[in-house]
């Protein structure tokens, strides 16, 4: 129970509190349960879509806004910082300096606008199809991507406390197990096309991991900003894929 509380205290604004001191072992257990928090966040987004579905696209944007509120906007902030860092010339030190500057540059703003817009449009399509399940799963997949990003062999970026806690903590068994569970769950994400849901899920996770790996090489290691990027990219690609398959 304490581990789950730590997971939710890290990944949501829910009024729960984890332990006062966290070591890498506790961090590993908390990250391993990140998809559980994703399910709860996905249910909240689906509830908003269900309530506001008659409003059309506004429902999709409302769902994106609720997700941002329930996560303190930290994943979108991490996405913006990451793209600002990746968009500058120079060594990793320069990129990390830009990421810590506190403001959002043109690359970061563009990343947030595109991500929020695509998510809102995809959620709107899923709401129109009455496919609340796929919306929940897309949000959950964003947190499965966090587990994959923290797999063994990944080093933390310099001067990053959170990255030092979680980088390299997830075993191949944990990463594989969550990937298999997500792919199996995606069988039901696209009615009538059982194969397409798992395909979307796996491709979304692969793309997210690929971008994070590029960021690790470019920035000198894993940071909380890169984990936020993993969340948003996997969620966006999964929602877009599920929406396209449902609309086909």
pLDDT digits 0-9 by tens, 124-143: 999 999 999 999 999 999 99
Q: Is residue 26 in a domain?
A: no
Residue 148 lies in a domain: yes
Give me the pLDDT at residue 102, please: 66
Residue 17 placed within a domain: no
Its pTM stands at 0.94
Which segments of the chain have a pLDDT < 50? none
pLDDT at 87: 79
Is there a domain that residue 176 lies in? yes
pLDDT of residue 231: 97
In a domain, 11, yes or no: no
- Res 210: pLDDT: 95
Domain assignment present for 96: yes
241: in domain:
yes
In the block, residue with structure tokens 């928090």: 37
pLDDT at 12: 93
Domain interval for residue 79: 32-247
The pLDDT value recorded for residue 71 is 95
Percent of the chain at pLDDT > 70 equals: 98
What is the count of structural domains for the chain? 1
User: Rounded to whole angstroms, how far apart are CA atoms 169 and 155?
Assistant: 10
Quote the pLDDT of residue 103. 66
Query: What is the full DSSP assignment across the chain?
Result: -HHHHHHHHHH--SS----SS--HHHHHHHHHTHHHHHHHHHHHHHHHHHHHGGGTHHHHHHHHHHHHHHTTTHHHHHHHHHHHHHTS-S-HHHHHHHHTSSS--HHHHHHHHHHHHHHHHHHHHHHHTT-HHHHHHHHHHHHHHHHHHTBTTPPBPTT-HHHHHHTT-B-HHHHHHHHHHHHHHGGGSSTT-TTHHHHHHHHHHHHHHHHHHHHHHHHTSB-HHHHHHHHHHHHHHHHHHHHHHHH-
């Amino acid at each position: 129970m304490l581990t789950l509380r730590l997971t939710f205290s890290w990944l949501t604004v829910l009024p729960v509190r984890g332990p006062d001191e966290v070591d890498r072992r506790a961090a590993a257990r908390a990250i391993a349960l990140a998809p559980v928090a994703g399910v709860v966040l996905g249910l909240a987004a689906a509830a908003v879509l269900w309530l506001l579905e008659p409003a059309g696209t506004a429902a999709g944007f409302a769902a994106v806004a609720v997700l941002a509120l329930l996560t303190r906007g930290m994943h979108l902030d991490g996405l913006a910082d990451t793209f600002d860092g990746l968009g500058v010339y120079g060594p990793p030190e320069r990129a990390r300096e830009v990421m810590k500057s506190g403001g959002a540059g043109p690359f970061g703003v563009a990343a947030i606008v595109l991500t929020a817009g695509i998510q809102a449009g995809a959620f709107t399509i899923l709401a129109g199809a009455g496919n609340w399940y796929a919306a929940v799963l897309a949000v959950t997949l964003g947190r499965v991507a966090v587990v994959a990003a923290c797999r063994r062999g990944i080093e933390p970026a310099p001067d990053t406390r959170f990255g030092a806690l979680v980088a390299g903590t997830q075993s191949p068994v944990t990463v594989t197990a969550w990937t298999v569970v997500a792919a199996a769950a995606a069988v039901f994400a696209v009615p009538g096309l059982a194969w397409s849901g798992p395909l979307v899920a796996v491709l979304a996770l692969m793309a997210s991991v690929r971008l994070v790996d590029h960021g690790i090489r470019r920035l000198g290691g894993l940071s909380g900003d890169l984990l936020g990027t993993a969340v948003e990219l996997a969620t966006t690609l999964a929602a877009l894929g599920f929406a396209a398959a449902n609309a086909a």
